[in-house]
Amino acid sequence: MDGIHDLGGRQGFGRVRHSPTALAFHEPWEVRANALYALAVKLGIFNMDEYRHAIERMEPRHYLSASYYERSLTSLATLLVEKGLVTREDLERRAGGVFPLSLPSAAGRTNAAGRERFRAGDRVRVTTDHVPGHVRMPAYIRGKIGVVVSESPVYPFPDAHAHGVEAADEPTYDVRFSSTDLWPGAADAAFVHVGVFQSYLERAG
């Protein structure tokens, strides 16, 4: 989905609030939220792709205003409700107030037909697919041409794995793009390397 989470290249954001000693956690509830979602993954209640997608499905105003661990918490609660472990009403009764959850999921999809094996140096084009469900292709590379640098081991295909759809595991390709091809005339010169699933790629002439 072309969701609010897909931030790469969006303009209008200010300076990064950086500190060399920045912490990962600030409040005790944050480490609890983190541990509880990790426990659910460990117990096989949901997988990482389902977890990521449930964050992406947050209502956009909520996504942008929530802290990082509130997003974790919202995904965890949404999936526990969707998997039938608890009802929203029960959660809200226990929490003593409204418990905002993510919006419903759309359909997933399986691997692309006729996937090609690429080698380092091959020129590839990212497909122009628009999918309603989970996808790990950032919008800024859609339809763009890059060069294959290397191939990874195979991974579960996220577009299927987030939706309980059957699919073969497939490799990702480290594809090198030029920032000036991605945002002509409006980017600092750099190579941008993206891990692109095989299903999102076709050979470029």
Partner 1 sequence: MQPATQAATQAATASVEQRVDAIQAVLHERGMRPGEFIDEVVHLVEEQWVPENGARIVARAWTDPAFRQRLLANGRDAAAEMGFAMPRHHRHLVALENTATLHNVICCTLCSCTAFTILGLPPDWYKDLEYRARVVRESRTVLAEMGLHLPPDMQIRVWDTTADTRYIVLPLQPPETIGWPEDKLAAIVTRDALFGVARL
Exactly one of 98, 104, 117, 185 binds partner 1 (CB under 8 A); that residue is 98
CB of 203 to partner 1, least distance (A): 20
Q: Does 113 bind partner 1 (CB under 8 A)?
A: no
Question: Cα angle vertex 156, ends 155, 158, to 5°?
Answer: 115
- Residue listed under structure tokens 């090609």: 116
65 vs 128 by CB, closer to partner 1: 65
b/e code 17-44 from CB counts within 10 Å (16+ = b): eeeeeeeeeeeeebeebbeebeebbeee
Query: How many Å apart are CA 37 and CA 79, to the nearest integer?
Result: 10
Distance of alpha carbon 188 from alpha carbon 90, whole angstroms: 50
The residue to which tokens 């472990």 are assigned: 85
Cα–Cα distance measured from residue 172 to residue 36, given in angstroms and rounded to the nearest whole number = 29
Candidate list 2, 90, 116, 166; residue touching partner 1; CB under 8 A: 90
Asked if 103 interacts with partner 1 (CB under 8 A), we say no
With respect to partner 1, which residue has the nearer C-beta, 69 or 205? 69
Query: Which residue, 20, 44, 24, is CA-closest to 33?
Result: 24
131 binds partner 1, rule: CB under 8 A: no
Site for partner 1 contains 192 (CB under 8 A):
yes
Distance CA 31, CA 147 (A): 40
- Shortest distance, position 7 Cβ to partner 1, whole Å: 4
Q: How far is the CB of 151 from partner 1 (least distance, A)?
A: 10
Within 13 Å and on the Cβ side, how many CA atoms surround 81?
20
Q: Shortest gap between Cβ of 183 and partner 1 (angstroms)?
A: 6
Binding of partner 1 by 120 (CB under 8 A): no
Compute how many residues bind partner 1; rule: CB under 8 A: 81
Site for partner 1 contains 127 (CB under 8 A): no
Question: In angstroms, how far is CA 163 from the centroid of its own chain?
Answer: 13
Could you say which of 58, 73, 112, 160 contacts partner 1 (CB under 8 A)?
Answer: 73
Q: Does 205 bind partner 1 (CB under 8 A)?
A: no
For position 160 contacting partner 1 by CB under 8 A, the verdict is no
Query: What tokens were used for 86?
Result: 């608890």
Does residue number 36 form part of the binding site for partner 1 (CB under 8 A)? yes
